[in-house]
Each structure stands twice: as structure tokens, then as C-alpha cells.
Amino acid sequence: MTILTCLLTTICIQAQINDFNTEKFEITEDGVMVLSMDNAPDGSELALSTHRGKLLFLDPESFQLTREFDMSGFTNGARISYSPDGKYLIMKKIRLSDWNTNKDNKQRIIVVDALTGNKVVDHDAVYDLALSPDGDTYAILDKGHLKIRSLSQGKTLTQVQDERLQSSITFGPEGELIYASRGFEKSDLKKDPRFKKNRKGRKAFSKFQQTVVGYDVNTGEERFISPDNMDEIYDMRCSRRGDCILIYAKQDTRVNVVSTTNFILQMALSDGMLLREQFNSKLPDPDYKENLEQDII
């Protein structure tokens, strides 16, 4: 019998206080190795992804298994997260190793109906995928190409082309904007006083730093840009509180190759500024989630 230890790293978002709590529960199926988990937005169930490709759903009070589905297509299992409305699960490839320095890798991402286990969307080679808060549309990011599509029809509704777009996307809390990580071109920095006489610094900055931009989901018009810059953005998601975006930034995008301290940042949606409270992790590819009360991560 495999024992799953669920360690909730309770580093307060609004007050930097460490308060570590550990809750243990048993998975009664022999040989099960849990790789990722998430709780439904309404707290009604827990979803777990295993190395054998199974999706398990547990009652959050009794931890009894309520249903399971066999999902294939992920060699090393999948990282899972609920859609904002709780109807779907997004499954993304877990990167056990990645030797590419500061370069995105395409991955398989699928969307599964959380009730039936049926695949709703299956993309084999994209950088990222995000579901809208109302569950009607989804966005996919390929190199320099952002598309917003109808979930039911698969029809492309809006698209943005910009070669600087990289890595990650997430919808805003109201679903009116889609946020994306974007790199810098050297030409973007010519007017920046920091690099006026520093061409080498301009080149390094454009190669290793990114920012976050927001586009209107209906028109594709740019309506938001953060004044801050960050290390390579590996992942980002809108917080459940809806006032900030959680950003996982890496000093080195290689996974399990070098030991570097990576950061989970908070960017305020009101002005695009990074908040003081941020959390570091030496894990190569951390699976970070918020609790239901939206006050710990």
C-alpha cells in the first residue's frame, strides 16, 4: 500500500509567515505513485495524477476513491490543474529533464471532462494552454502565435502574432484579457536609459528577461504590459483571489541539470508591479497550488 504524504507548503501570501502542516492519507491501490494533485474550486473533490496514467478522484473528507480514468499519452505522467469552473482538468507533460538552455519545448496538453474522463481538447505540440473562467473558450500558445478558440467547436475566434511571445499564458479573472509572457528584442531596449551605452547588457537582457502582456480576447488588441521584467517565465496562472498572477520564473530553464533557485512571484493585476511577497524553490519543476481559502500557496 502506497502512502501519499500531501505536504502543503503554507507560506502565507499576504504575511510572510512559515506554518508547515502535513496531512497524510492512503491510496489503497498497490503500486500507485502520485505525481500531481489539485482540489476542485468548490472543494468537492481531489484529483490525482499517477505515473501509470490514471486519474483518481477522492472525497476530500474521507479520502475514499470516487472514480478513476485511464489516461494515456504521457510517458512520465501528467501535471494536472482544474479549470476555473471546475468542469475540466488540464493535463500537461511533466518535465523530468530538459537540457535546452532558455528555450521553450513543445509539449502535449489535453483537456479532460472531470466527470466523464472524455478528452475535450488534445494538442500534441504547443507551448501552453489555458481555459477561460466560463469554460467556453481556451487559448493555445505556439512560438509567436497566440490563438483563442471555441471549446465546443474548436473554431479560432481571435489570434495574435508576435515573435516575442514565449512560454506561458493565462486568462484574467473575468476572462476579458489573456496574459502572455513576452521577451524583449534588442530594438525594444534602445530607448531604455539603462542600455543606452551598454550594448552587451542590452543583448543579455533581451535573451534572458521577459515581461507579461495582456490582450483583449475579442480583438487581440494589447491592453496591458507590466513595467517589471522577470527571469525566464516557465509557468504562470491567475490567482484564485483574482488580484494577481502567480509567475514561476527560472534563472535557468534547464530541468534537473543545474541547481538554481527559482521563484514563484506575484504580479499585481492593478498595475503590473511585482509584489514583495515571493517564494523560492530549489525543486526543478515545482507543482504549486493555492488552498481553497486563497491565503496560502
Q: Across-strand partners of 177?
A: 216
pLDDT of 14: 37
Segment 182-218, tens digit of pLDDT: 988 767 666 666 666 676 667 767 777 888 999 999 9
Rounded distance between C-alpha atoms, residue 38 and residue 272, angstroms: 27
Report, as an integer, the average pLDDT of 18-32.
61
Complete DSSP assignment for 156-211: EEEEEE-TTEEEEEEE-TTSSEEEEEEE--GGGGTT-GGGTT-HHHHHHHHHH-EE
Residue 236 has pLDDT above 80, yes or no: yes
CATH number of 2-281: 2.130.10.10
Residue 106 has pLDDT above 90, yes or no: no
Rounded distance between C-alpha atoms, residue 53 and residue 291, angstroms: 25
State pTM to two decimals: 0.83
Segment 137-163, tens digit of pLDDT: 999 998 889 999 999 888 999 999 999
**Where is pLDDT greater, at 50 or 173?**
173
Residue 237 has pLDDT above 60, yes or no: yes
Spell out the domain ranges in the chain: 2-281
Rounded distance between C-alpha atoms, residue 93 and residue 282, angstroms: 20
Confidence of residue 22 (pLDDT cuts 50, 70, 90): low
Amino acid at 71: M
Query: Which of 15-29, 217-231, 256-270 is predicted with the least confidence, judged by mean pLDDT?
Result: 15-29
Q: Is 123 exposed, middle or buried (0-12, 13-18, 19+ CB in 10 A)?
A: middle
Q: How high does pLDDT run on average in the chain?
A: 80
Contacts of 185 (CB under 8 A, 6+ apart): 164, 206
Residue 62 has pLDDT above 60, yes or no: yes
Q: Across-strand partners of 25?
A: 4
Do residues 179 and 245 touch, judged by C-beta distance below 8 A?
yes
Rounded distance between C-alpha atoms, residue 167 and residue 156, angstroms: 20
Of 55, 63, 8, 61, nearest in space to 34 by CA: 55
pLDDT of 283: 66
Do residues 127 and 106 touch, judged by C-beta distance below 8 A?
yes
pLDDT of 255: 53
Segment 245-284, tens digit of pLDDT: 999 887 665 555 555 667 789 999 999 999 988 777 766 6
